[in-house]
Amino acid sequence: MSGEQNKAPPAVTLAALFFGFSKIGLSGFGGVLPFARHYLVETSRWMTAEEFNQQLGLCQFLPGPNVVNLAVVVGRRYGGLAGAIMAAFGLLAGPVAIVLLLAMLYDAYGAMPEAQRMLRGIAAAGSGLLFAMAFRMAMAIKQKPFFLPFTLLVFIAIALLRWPLPAVMLAGIALAGAVAYGLLKKEEKEGKEKA
């Protein structure tokens, strides 16, 4: 496997980056990450599954739109600065154009009662999908007794008290990070004692 890693990445043109990421951007609704994996690893074979996970790790660790970060990383790998720009531009150009068209329709017809009712229904569905996503993410957390209280605290601070998010996040990262640090330290110690 180590031989694989030293192999130079296949040549990918700027146009291929642009169109590849356009495809990724236009293929998903409410998040395109699964499509990015499918396209990059299986369809185009620009990266192995391991390389994908490795790069995604960085993109998910950092704040900001993860898929845009991923486009920048993949674009840079194959085309330097120009590649990064083309990939990110490709990812966003199509969806932005579509959403702007919809925005114009909204400006023109949004005040109609039918449009208002339909959008309220879609917003309700969107709210339900968000609850489902939050629930799935909560279930995926390990050591729930230690970490789920932080979920509750964030909900109280943000949804109920309406505190500013930057302060809440910084305090939350400090506290939850400290708990996680302690748990990891303990785990490593116990691991060593067993060995």
Subset of 133-162 contacting another protein (CB under 8 A) = 133-138, 140-141, 147-148, 150-155, 158-159, 162
Instruction: Using alpha carbons, list the distances in angstroms from residue 5 to 2, 37, 52.
Output: 5, 18, 12
Position among 19, 112, 170, 186 found at the interface with another protein (CB under 8 A) = 170
Query: What is the contact mask toward another protein in residues 39 to 78, using x (rule: CB under 8 A)?
Result: ---------------xx-xxx-xxxxxxxxx--xx--xx-
* Min CB(41)–another protein separation in Å: 18
Residue 42 region by backbone torsions, left for phi larger than 0, else alpha for psi between -120 and 50, else beta: alpha
CA distance 108 to 111: 8
Query: What is the contact mask toward another protein in residues 4 to 23, using x (rule: CB under 8 A)?
Result: --------------------
CA angle 82, 44, 65 (to 5 degrees): 55
127 binds another protein (CB under 8 A): yes
- Shortest CA distance to 77 belongs to which of 100, 52, 60? 52
- Shortest CA distance to 90 belongs to which of 11, 32, 8? 32
* Min CB(93)–another protein separation in Å: 10
**Inter-residue contact 130 to 60 (CB < 8 Å):** no
Beta-carbon count within 10 A of 155 CB? 12
Please say which residue, 11 or 140, places its beta carbon nearer to another protein.
140
Please say which residue, 15 or 124, places its beta carbon nearer to another protein.
124
Query: What is the contact mask toward another protein in residues 174 to 193, using x (rule: CB under 8 A)?
Result: -xxxxxxx-xxx--x-----
Region of 5-13, 40-48, 126-134 interacting with another protein (CB under 8 A):
126-134
- Residue 48 backbone dihedrals phi, psi, to 5 degrees: -80, 165
Region of 7-15, 38-46, 118-126 interacting with another protein (CB under 8 A):
118-126
